[in-house]
A and B are shown apart, each in its own frame.
Chain A
Amino acid sequence: MASDGLSLWESISLRGVPAGRLQGRGAAVALADFARGSALGGRLEELRGRSVLVAVRDQLTAALALIELDGVASRMVLCTPDLATQYLPQVIRDAEVDASVCDALTVPEARVGVSVSAQPRLASATSTRRASVRSDWILLTSGTTGAPKLVLHDLASLTAVLAGESPPKAPLTWSTFYDIRRYGGLQIFLRALHAGSLVLSDRDEEVSDFLRRAGQAGITHISGTPSHWRKALMSGVTSRINPQYVRLSGEIPDQAVLDGLRTAYPDAILAHAFASTEAGVAFEVRDGRAGFPEDLVGAPHAQVELRVQDETLQIRSAGTATCYLGADAPVLKRADGFVDTGDRVEGREGRYYFMGRRGGVINVGGLKVHPEEVEAVINAHPAVRMSLVKARRNPITGAVVTAEVVLKEPAAAPDTATMVRELTESCKRVLAPHKVPAMIRVVPSLEVSASGKLVRPNA
């Protein structure tokens, strides 16, 4: 339930029957039909009080299930569509899952407990909607080893940023490049439900087709990562939509992408937001410039408090997550309530600029890469003594992965070209494409600190 104690359905139908629609690639649903309809084949009551793995592939189906389950399920675990099957047992254990919502594409490993089929449409159902619990919303975010971390939110924390806003005067039509099961997409989903309609993206759809569909639906507001937007700019299809509001989040935008969007949409509000699954939404900047004004930091009595400690941005607000789930889960929030974002910032001339991640997590087009994970693969090569994987700034994906490699016995090792090829091939065999180093260099040595640790940039 939200801060006012209402479930998601109660809050969107508070001022009467909602007029909006949820529009997927192949199907659309009118929110009004929720009053007497269900996507769960009339089996919602079987899920009451349970911890439910929402494991459907289709985004519209997931959207419908979330609206139905909030206030009914004790917990909803939002599986991202690319979650590797190998991590399912850990997710199911840590979230104490005892039920699942599935569609035709759900893998057998996710069909656990009371398993209910869901569809991307509403069939008439007789039971009355009744909220009885404050549901946990569990979002998955990738951890150091590539295994997901389970982040605990509830509707109140997810919608905290909306609480201070007045409802729009005219209905809006939102869209987002994001999947709604990721924090950035979920924010837009919840926003759209309270404001009008939402056009959902589809992972298998070309950006040009998606924007054509969004344009035909008359979208007024749209969000995506800088990488999504660069792709749209380079596809030459930005004119297919005519939004009033364009939002970037999920990665740090550079001036080039902001300028590109300003040129493409001269009349739109161009906003970049800083948010993370753990820290919630911190701020939105609308001046079209990279970075953010320094007076946002340390502002007294702000709804969202920002501070910079050890050059790193920390956030405290009603929008932060509660904790990570699971045994041995790391600490999410400090004792004073601040969440450490791990994002390094530097102040220059009245503005803060982002300087990359502390601890070296690399963000390639919105996807995280932990250097250690890639180094482990490289170091498994018999000729390699050690390696250092780091980020290199990139105008297309924000960063790409590069590696420096020290050989055990350079004289005995294959030549450099062969080494690079062999290492690239072994990385490709076990790692997702964005984790494979774009460049590998053989170097004579790497710097090791007095404590015996590899010296990492930004660490």
Chain B
Amino acid sequence: MSVRSTITSQFQQVAVEQERTLAPLDDELKLVESGLDSLSFAIIVARLEDALGIDPFNAAEAVEFPVTFGDFVRLYENFGK
């Protein structure tokens, strides 16, 4: 499974668990408008660390906090490159 599809499925899974209505996931979607709250993002990041073996937020160099879904995917795709 690609990084993008892993992330997409985690967004969908956590939205169901947290009983939140997820907006359609396109790259321009602002995370603040995704329907998810901070706790949902926290769970997504923890599960992605298990699924992908990386936590780009905890990198040695400064992290640009993602604002859109596209930023979020790129943060994971570009990690370590």
Contact = CB atoms under 8 A, between A and B. Distances in A.
Interface of A: 206-208, 227, 230-231, 233-237, 254-256, 259-260, 263, 364-365, 392-397, 400, 402, 424, 433-434, 438-439
Given A263-B62, A400-B39, 8 more contacts: A230-B65, A234-B65, A236-B30, A263-B64, A394-B45, A395-B57, A396-B45, A400-B46
Contact of A400 (B30, B43, B68): B43
A438 B47 contact: yes
Max chain A Cβ within 10 angstroms of own Cβ: one of B42, B47, B65? B65
Binding site secondary structure of chain B: helix
Contact of A234 (B32, B46, B58): B32
B32 A396 contact: no
A256 B67 contact: no
Interface in B22-81: 30-32, 38-39, 41-43, 45-47, 50, 55, 57-59, 62-68
A82 to B, nearest CB: 15
B41 A433 contact: no
Interface of B: 17-18, 30-32, 38-39, 41-43, 45-47, 50, 55, 57-59, 62-68
B58 A396 contact: no
A260 B62 contact: yes
B63 A260 contact: yes
B40 to A, nearest CB: 9
Contacts of B30: 235-236
Contacts, number: 77
Contacts of A234: 31-32, 41, 65-67
Q: State the 7 A-B residue pairs at the shortest beta-carbon distance, nearest first.
A: A395-B57, A236-B67, A259-B62, A233-B65, A396-B42, A235-B32, A397-B42
A228 to B, nearest CB: 9
A264 to B, nearest CB: 9
Given A395-B55, A400-B46, A438-B46, A259 B63 contact: yes
B15 to A, nearest CB: 13
Contacts of A364: 39, 42
A234 B50 CA distance: 22
Contact of B67 (A235, A392, A393): A235
